[in-house]
Amino acid sequence: MKNKKKNLISAFLFVFCGILNAQTPYTIQTAIETALKNNSSIKSERLKADYQQKLIKSATNIPATNIVADYGQINSFYNDNRFGISQSFNFPTVYSRQKKLFKEEWQTATLNVSMKEAELKKAVSQSFYTLVYLYEKEKLLQKSDTIFSEFLKKSNLRFQKGESNILEKTTAETQRGNIQLQLIQLQQEKEVVKSQFQLLLNSDTDFIPKAENLKLILDTTIDSTLVAQHPNLKVLEQQKKASLASTKLEKSKLLPSFTLGYNNTSITGTGANDVVYDKSVRFQSAQVGLGIPIFGGSQKAKIAASKIGESISENEFQREKLLLQMQFQNALSQHQSNLEKLDYFEKTALPNAKIIIETANKQFYNGDINYLDWVLLANQSITIKSNYIDAVIQHNEIIIQLNYLTSKQ
Q: What is the pLDDT of residues 72-92, one digit of tens each?
A: 988 888 899 999 999 999 999
- Which of 28, 343, 385, 394 has the alpha carbon at shortest distance from 212? 28
Structural domain span for residue 221: 26-58+93-255+298-405
Considering the domain architecture, whether residues 198 and 268 belong to the same structural domain is answered as no
Give me the pLDDT at residue 204, please.
Answer: 85
Of 272, 292, 312, which residue constitutes the final position of a domain? 292
Evaluate whether 271 touches 75 at the Cβ level (below 8 Å): no
Give me the pLDDT at residue 349, please.
Answer: 95
Considering the domain architecture, whether residues 374 and 394 belong to the same structural domain is answered as yes
Give me the pLDDT at residue 82, please.
Answer: 93
Considering the domain architecture, whether residues 71 and 180 belong to the same structural domain is answered as no
Evaluate whether 357 touches 381 at the Cβ level (below 8 Å): yes
The answer for residues whose C-beta is within 8 angstroms of residue 337's C-beta and 6 or more apart is none
Give me the pLDDT at residue 161, please.
Answer: 62
Residues of the chain with pLDDT under 50: 1-2, 4-6, 8-21
The answer for residues whose C-beta is within 8 angstroms of residue 275's C-beta and 6 or more apart is none
Give me the pLDDT at residue 365, please.
Answer: 79
- The enclosing domain of 209 has a CATH number of 1.20.1600.10
Give me the pLDDT at residue 3, please.
Answer: 53
Give me the pLDDT at residue 155, please.
Answer: 66
Evaluate whether 53 touches 212 at the Cβ level (below 8 Å): no
Considering the domain architecture, whether residues 328 and 311 belong to the same structural domain is answered as yes
In a domain, 344, yes or no: yes
Distances in Å between the alpha carbon of 165 and those of 160, 319, 370, 375?
9, 67, 11, 15
pTM of the model: 0.83
What is the rounded CA–CA span in Å between residue 130 and residue 138? 12
